[in-house]
Amino acid sequence: MVGITKDQVKHISRLSKLSLSKDEVNKFQKQLGEIVEYVRTLELVKLNDTAPTSQTTELTNVYRNDLIGVDGLDQKSALSGTEEVYNGYFKVPSIFKKV
Amino acid sequence: MSRFIPVIGLEVHIELATKSKMFCGCSADHFAKEPNTQVCPVCLGLPGALPYANFSAIEQTVMFGLSMNCKINRFSKFDRKHYFYPDLPKGYQISQYDFPFCVKGKFQIPNSKNQIRIRRIHLEEDTAKLVHQFGDSKEKGISLVDFNRSGVPLVEMVTEPEFSDVDSVISFLQEIQLLVRYLGISSADMEKGSMRLEANISLAKAQKSKLQSEDLPNYKVELKNINSFRFLRKALNAEIKRQKRILRKGGKVTQETRGYDEYKNITFSQRIKEEAMDYRYFPEPDIPPIRFSKTQIEDIKSKIPELPAAKRKRLEEKYGISKEYIEILVQDKRRCDYFEKSCEISGNKELSAKSIAGALINQNLDRKFESPYEFIRYLKKISKKYYSSLKEIEDAIQKVLSDNSKAVKDYHEGNSNVIGFLIGQVQKMLKGRGEPKLIRESLIKALQKD
Ligand SMILES: [Zn+2]
């Protein structure tokens, strides 16, 4: 079983902005490892004659014209999902630097 | 002491001036609007919302790429770039990774022999705007998010690191700004953030004057959050100085992102670069890929107007006006069109292109006369009034001298007072259209020949 390493779990948690305890790292290493192994069964499929693709719908060139739509939200509706508002803005903890 | 050559590359972001956003029908004109009033489920990243690509934005990106002499990828797609930040509601930005619309371009730096290679030009969505609130103590230490900018089409152009001096960087960027305005795809206004600059810079130790690829340094420092050409110039100079100091002492320059402090005129560290930024790109499953036909690309190409470089060349060849005049006209397309229309209307040798350009630029007559027709009518009127041709003046002088032999005799006997009288006679004959100084000179010449 290849699975994933503890360092990989820690790396993913950092990217996800989640802090994990030691126990959680062990727990997720096992769970994520199982998922990776499961996905690995795809490697059994013979694909020699199949061109690589990044999609499943076989559609191309789906565009719209540059027109302003009517399905916008007003400010009140836009902010309705949070109580953290300030003068029409969403309010978040201060961030001075991009991380 | 070893000599160092700067190695500079650029990243330029340009917000497109489409009517609607990149993936939804919200208005893209977001500057100074009430916060969160031009938003919808798509650009707020609400669950279940689906992006729907704006074709004009794609077309404009390709047009920009063609103008930068790029190759257009016949197959292209959007990808998701993942990172967490409050300005990015979905947790990813829709961008382009391995198949950007445009690749491998090259662009001439104005007034220079050097060409810069363009690595890629791709299309992505802008992020929301963050406002940092310091204000009253109660709300201290919060940031505010406005999603009006979220999803506005944003073009990113990346050059190869081929600039070796700051002047070239600035003239390249000014030319890009002008080009984008000629194409009409963006206001490229840096104060409003519709054009944003980033530079990466390192120093190479140079043995010869020309850099070899093996001399390239193994680090780079990125300068971010620069919002004017003037700032970029200062920031680059300050950073070159800082790196020189470190390298001369035998030190190593840390690979990182730095900002610029204008008051202290120094750059400062913003963060140490993590391993490599891990954006976990993958193809955007909600937007089918894009395939361009040859005709489609030709079609877009045909919509490109005359660009600044071609205009400079043509103005010089066609009108022979000075470089200074040309530059003023090229910088202001409307004014240049006015000038050309005026030359066309004037259509004769009486008014030279030089004098038309001179009157236009030095006296701002295009502001006084709305129509080039009025402008030319005015120029013709004043040129007739003040400037009879030399031939007309000389003919008039001959006539006056033969009609006034007594005055001529007086002159030769030493009475120079008669000159005033003779000038008056000549001017009368020219109906006041002669230039006094020219009449006087020609008259004296004629008298002395007599
Ligand atoms: Zn929207």
Å from CA of A51 to ligand 1 middle: 35
CA distance B446 to B448: 5
Question: What pLDDT is recorded for position B100?
Answer: 98
Å from CA of B27 to ligand 1 middle: 8
CA distance B210 to B171: 21
Place B190 in a pLDDT band, splitting at 50, 70 and 90: very high
- Asked if B144 is an interface residue toward chain A (Cβ–Cβ < 8 A), one would say yes
Tokens of B46: 């609400």
- State yes or no: pLDDT of B40 exceeds 70: yes
- The interface predicted TM-score (ipTM) is 0.89
**What is the mean pLDDT of the segment spanning B241-247?**
95
Residue A84: inside a domain: no
Question: What pLDDT is recorded for position B288?
Answer: 96
Question: What pLDDT is recorded for position B1?
Answer: 54
Q: Which of A55, A68, A73 sits opposite B285 (nearest CB)?
A: A55
Residue A16 is part of a domain; what is its CATH number? 1.10.20
Question: What pLDDT is recorded for position B138?
Answer: 54
**What is the mean pLDDT of the segment spanning B69-77?**
97
Which chain A residues touch B if contact means CB-CB below 8 Å?
Answer: 11, 15-17, 54-55, 57, 59-75, 78-79, 81, 86-99
Question: What pLDDT is recorded for position B122?
Answer: 98
CB contacts < 8 A (A, B): 139
Q: Which of A17, A55, A96 sits opposite B288 (nearest CB)?
A: A55
- State yes or no: pLDDT of B125 exceeds 80: yes
**What is the mean pLDDT of the segment spanning B208-215?**
59
Residue A93: inside a domain: no
Question: What pLDDT is recorded for position A97?
Answer: 47
- State yes or no: pLDDT of B214 exceeds 60: no
Place A99 in a pLDDT band, splitting at 50, 70 and 90: very low
Q: CA separation (Å) from B302 to A66, B54, B62, B299, B381?
A: 20, 20, 12, 5, 41
**What is the mean pLDDT of the segment spanning A39-67?**
91
Q: Which of A17, A78, A97 sits opposite B270 (nearest CB)?
A: A97
Domains of chain B: 4-301 (no CATH), 308-386 (no CATH), 390-449 (1.10.10.410)
Virtual CA dihedral for B321, B324, B325, B331, nearest 10 degrees? 130
Cα B85 vs. chain centroid, distance in angstroms? Answer: 32
Mean pLDDT of chain B: 90
Å from CA of B82 to ligand 1 middle: 20
User: Among A16-20, B120-124, B162-166, B432-436, where is mean pLDDT lowest?
Assistant: B432-436
- State yes or no: pLDDT of B117 exceeds 50: yes
pLDDT digits 0-9 by tens, A54-91: 888 889 999 999 999 988 999 999 999 998 999 999 99
Question: What pLDDT is recorded for position B379?
Answer: 84
B53-80 burial by CB neighbour count: b if 16+ within 10 A, else e?
Answer: bbebbbbbbbbbbbbbebebbeebbbbb
Residue A28: inside a domain: yes
Q: Confirm if B150 and B87 have CB atoms less than 8 A apart.
A: yes
Place B153 in a pLDDT band, splitting at 50, 70 and 90: very high
- State yes or no: pLDDT of B211 exceeds 80: no
Residue A67: inside a domain: no
Which residues form the domain of A11? Answer: 6-42
Residue A25: inside a domain: yes
- State yes or no: pLDDT of B282 exceeds 90: yes
Place A98 in a pLDDT band, splitting at 50, 70 and 90: very low
For B57, the closest chain A residue by CA position comes to A66
Q: Confirm if B93 and B80 have CB atoms less than 8 A apart.
A: yes
Contacts of A63 in chain B (CB under 8 A): 52-55, 58
What is the number of domains present in chain A? 1
Residue A57: inside a domain: no
Residue A69: inside a domain: no
Residue A50: inside a domain: no
Q: Do A62 and B287 touch (CB under 8 A)?
A: yes
Tokens of B414: 């030493």
